[in-house]
Chains A and B, each alone.
Chain A
Amino acid sequence: MIGRARQFITAAMLALGLAGEAAAIDVNDWNSVVAEARGQTIYFNAWGGAENINAYIKWAGDEMKARYGVTVVHVKLDDTAKAVATVVAEKSAGKDRDGAVDLIWINGENFAAMKRERLLFSPDWATKLPNWVYVDHESKPTVLTDFTIATGGLESPWGGAKLVFFYDSARTAGGELPDSAADLLKWAEANTGRFSYPQPPDFTGSSFLKQVLTELIHDKTKLQKPVDEATFAADAAPLFAYLDKLTPLLWRKGKAYPQNYPDMKQKFADGELDIIFAFNPAEASAAIANGELPDSVRSFVFSGGTLGNTHFVAIPYNASAKAGALLFANFLLSPEAQLRKQDPKIWGDPTVLSLARLPAAERQAFEALDLGVATLGPDQLGPALDEPHPDWMTRIEAEWIRRYGAAN
């Protein structure tokens, strides 16, 4: 009866144009969120390309079921933009409620696009999650700005990322490793055909371009703002001069590229590539544990710094199970879930929590984690460079395709 009455009131408010989404769910009243979530099924749209990540999400879903009676269905995507496309299609069809997507694993341009098109559940909810108190927003500013775009609490941080390079110590001596983009070019001259990067606009490949751009651009402050078309050609000139020299030295002389990070990893395992890179420092250790890479693989970074960022979860504006999505986002932030995620035997994704804020027992558990033989400790990862504004990625990808998109 009560449910019926509430439905009626909500319907009436909607009819009068009084009810925003905030009226339906009050993030500040967490007990009501927990109560509302019970029995809900949430469709979590997340990249499904890695089996260990899928297993982690399965674990988190099982916990949600056991603890809160919430069913989590992992909708496995090959590309996050597919989930964005679903929300767009629903909006086209006027389906502003009961959408198919409840929670999306997201960051960067997908977030920027959804925020711009107002496709996200809009009040600031992320900072109101009970577990937000543990989040490290002092030393990890990227939990609040996603590629320079303020998150505004529209997405909740899930994990950290840092660009790290890998090499096989059985094939390449540690002393020969490059320490900057300029060094890498010299290394490629000496080792023709043994380096490449995933083909932009693949996320990892574009990140490599941004790394080089950040190192070589004359005025780094420009990267924190949208591209200035008037000076773009001059600003990006050092990057493309670099790529003009690098391209003929690449694997397949730049006439083909690995399609994404896992493809690049496979080519590294096959002995086609000698240096690769990933956005997760624990990738190599996880691959060694999996039997995909030999245990002679090691990591290195540039002493001048490499790109770092954060990935998030967000709720579409028309999600059908918002309470369940909020509860799940909160669970993903819990010390327990974050600890499990950072374990390289499970996933190895760096936490977004601040160890200093954690209760003693949890802090010790994090400190006791064995990060694996190929993973650099937090103190060895070097400085984190800020991600450029998403505009740069778009412009540079377009320019890359124009210049290198038809290899003859």
Chain B
Amino acid sequence: MHPTSGNGLLVVILGLPVLAGVGGTILPAFGYLPALGGFRPTTAHLAELAGQPHILRSVLVALAAGLITTFAALAIVGTFIAGFAGTPVFARVHHLVSPLLAVPHAAATFALAFLIAPSGLLLRLVSPELTGFTRPPDWLLPNDPFALSMIAGLVTKEVPFLFLVTLAGLPQLPLHRAGKLMAALGYGRVSGFLISLWPTLYRQIRLPVFAVLVYSVSVVDVAMILGPQLPATLPVRIAHWAADHDLKMRFLASAGALLQLVVVFAAIGIWLVLERLGKFALTLLTLAGTRLRKDLLPRAASGLAMAGCAVIVFLGLGALFIWSVAGLWPFPKALPGAITAKIWLRVLPQIAEPLFTTVAIAFSASALALVIAISLLHRDGRGGNGAGYKLLYLPLIVPEISFVFGLQVLAISIGFTPAFPSVLAVHLLFVLPYVLLSLSAPWRELDPRFEQIAAGLGKSSLRVLLTIRLPLLFRACLTAFAVGFSVSVSLYLPTVLVGAGRLTTVTTEAVALSAGGDRRVIGVYALVQAALPFLAFLVASLGPQLLFRNRRAMRM
């Protein structure tokens, strides 16, 4: 048996559910859903979708917001890396931004909404002294029709993600040598980096960029809180149709999910065109020989944007914390009239069980994903770039909303009862691509000579893996685990649908309670939700220090 055929099987087993889920979603779009009396193929539901009021605007806003978010996040991260890689500022911002990856989207979004709303913390801080407002002004913010607040929210969360995947690719670049060369030729930092290193770097982070694009085009929770409401973006409207009291709307929701898939493909298509244009512009720039020496402005802007993302989220989380202990807190008071631990005391006992479930699922899913990723990489060695692996990355590229309902029907059909194992299985589906993504770059990067020496000393392949490669990659493994952990913690739709709501996690509780809108309770849940992955990342960064106390060279 060829060593990789086992891998192939694993890849198929893990990749197929997504395709099956898409199938289970597409069939009702064309009228096939026996439970609701849909047996005959029809295009009526697609026609109904086309006839929905303002549907084009919903599509265009989602598409534009996704493209702008991705472009802005990439521009900020790219400019920042170009302008600051290797400087002390870089290290400082790195430490500021990294923890952001741990904050789930919903928590960060609530935080942002609390800050910028007309009755939010920012205006409270300066009112009525500077503004004269004794009542909140009637400003359309968030939920502005151009989705600017939603884009801001998404950029805040996507910047740290792109930044960290970029960091993983950075050590493979001849940063110093290229920098010196370009400086000697008289280029500014940013233009020098763009010309010499950006094409290689971009090739390495292309998949994560597409993941960001797909996510931003099809996001539901962030769009619900910050996005426009009249009309809402397409993914939000699909979520509403799927949850409509009129069960026939499920056909419409499926048709919408199909359209969402088309929108995602369109977004990818447009992005590919943008890539071409970017490449062309870069060639022109190179050939023109323009040095662009004075790049202080873009450098400063990118640095401010990076730091701004972190400051906004931390300030917002601080505001959430204040709300969680606030008694009555009327506008425009900057601080609540009374402080009470009442909500925490009431919520903490109730949160214990969901907390345990969350940790159990996240721990098992990311541990399992790590084992699978290691075995795939060990036997294949190519860092997960083989054609078959693309199947594993499907959950990153296919919008969640386009396959989760199909997956739910599938899970019930094959006799999965909604319980821990089935929820774990669906979490694994989402966690694995991220774990594989974070682990494959350091895996490829490791100097092969270590293993060659070990093999030369007669060690078996498994022993080499266990005693050489894994200890050397221990930190990378822990980081991949932490990434998987945070993805699992933040999963909402799959947990609710496949778990039939029976397994409550901190996130399902938070979303259910956010329907109740009580900022105090939302504050508690959002903080707990943010604390979990944060702890995982803390362990990931401290673990190696503790474990390798006696091996100084392996500490960082």
Contacts and interface: CB of A to CB of B under 8 A. Distances in A.
A, B: real partners: yes
Interface of A: 43, 45, 47-51, 54-55, 58, 73, 75-86, 88-95, 98, 100-101, 108-110, 112-113, 117, 193, 199, 201, 251-253, 255-257, 259-263, 265-267, 269-272, 291-294, 394, 401-402, 404-408
25 contacts: A43-B500, A48-B513, A51-B347, A55-B346, A76-B504, A76-B509, A76-B512, A77-B501, A83-B501, A84-B247, A86-B500, A92-B35, A93-B409, A109-B245, A253-B138, A256-B143, A256-B229, A259-B224, A259-B517, A262-B516, A266-B519, A269-B330, A293-B328, A294-B330, A407-B230
Nearest to B510: A78
Contacts of A109: 245-246
B53 A405 contact: yes
Given A51-B347, A81-B243, A404 B230 contact: yes
Nearest to A117: B247
Contact of B246 (A76, A291, A394): A394
A93 B280 CA distance: 52
A89 B231 contact: no
A240 to B, nearest CB: 14
B405 to A, nearest CB: 8
Contacts of B294: none
Counting chain B CB atoms within 10 Å of each CB, the highest count among A45, A85, A88, A259 belongs to A85
Contacts of B145: 255, 407-408
Given A48-B509, A270-B331, A255 B242 contact: no
Given A113-B247, A270-B119, A255 B516 contact: no
Contacts of A251: 138
A88 B250 contact: yes
Contacts of B516: 48-51, 262
Counting chain A CB atoms within 10 Å of each CB, the highest count among B118, B143, B496, B515 belongs to B515
Contact of B408 (A89, A199, A252, A401): A89
**Which bracket fits the contact residues of B?**
35 or more
B412 interface: yes
Nearest to A99: B500
Nearest to A271: B331
Contact of A113 (B245, B347, B412, B512): B245
Contacts of A49: 512-517
Contacts of B224: 259
B40 to A, nearest CB: 16
Contacts of A51: 346-347, 513, 516, 518, 521
B230 A117 contact: no
A79 to B, nearest CB: 5
B508 interface: yes
Contacts of B417: 98, 100
B21 to A, nearest CB: 12
A271 B408 contact: no
B34 interface: yes
A45 B511 CA distance: 15
A6 to B, nearest CB: 23
Contacts of B328: 269, 291-294
B172 interface: no
B36 interface: yes
The main secondary structure of chain A at its interface with chain B is mixed
Interface in B324-349: 327-328, 330-331, 338, 340, 342, 346-347
B27 to A, nearest CB: 10
B276 interface: no
A260 B515 contact: yes
B444 interface: no
Contacts of A50: 516, 518
Given A77-B512, A406-B57, A407-B145, A272 B409 contact: no
B33 A82 contact: no
Nearest to A402: B53
A408 to B, nearest CB: 7
Given A73-B502, A272-B118, A79 B250 contact: no
B131 interface: no
Interface of B: 33-36, 53-54, 57, 118-119, 135-136, 138, 140, 143, 145, 224, 229-231, 240, 242-247, 250, 327-328, 330-331, 338, 340, 342, 346-347, 350, 405, 408-409, 412-413, 417-418, 496-497, 500-502, 504, 508-509, 511-521
Nearest to A272: B136
A49 B163 CA distance: 36
Given A92-B412, A404-B230, 18 more contacts: A48-B509, A75-B500, A79-B243, A81-B244, A84-B245, A89-B35, A92-B35, A93-B409, A100-B501, A117-B247, A201-B240, A253-B138, A255-B230, A256-B140, A270-B331, A294-B328, A402-B53, A406-B53
A84 B500 CA distance: 11
Contacts of B242: 85
B409 A405 contact: no
Contacts of A407: 145, 230
B340 A291 contact: yes
A78 B412 contact: no
Contacts of B327: 291
B136 A270 contact: yes
B229 A257 contact: yes
Contacts of A83: 501
Given A94-B413, A266-B519, A271-B119, A405 B33 contact: no
Given A251-B138, A256-B143, A272 B119 contact: yes
Contacts of A76: 501, 504, 508-509, 512
A82 B496 contact: yes
B190 to A, nearest CB: 39
A73 to B, nearest CB: 7
List the 4 shortest-distance A-B pairs measured between CB atoms, nearest first: A49-B516, A262-B517, A92-B35, A270-B119
Nearest to A108: B245
Nearest to B503: A75
Contacts of A77: 501, 512
Contact of A88 (B247, B508, B518): B247
B251 to A, nearest CB: 11
Contact of B412 (A89, A271, A292): A89
Nearest to A270: B119
Contacts of A255: 140, 145, 230
Given A251-B138, A405-B230, A263 B504 contact: no
Nearest to A293: B328
Nearest to A269: B330
Contacts of A259: 224, 229, 517
Contact of B501 (A82, A91, A262, A267): A82
Nearest to B509: A76
A78 B518 contact: no
A94 B516 CA distance: 34
Contacts of B350: 54, 58
Contacts of A261: 517
A389 to B, nearest CB: 14
Contacts of B520: 292
Contact of A92 (B346, B409, B511): B409
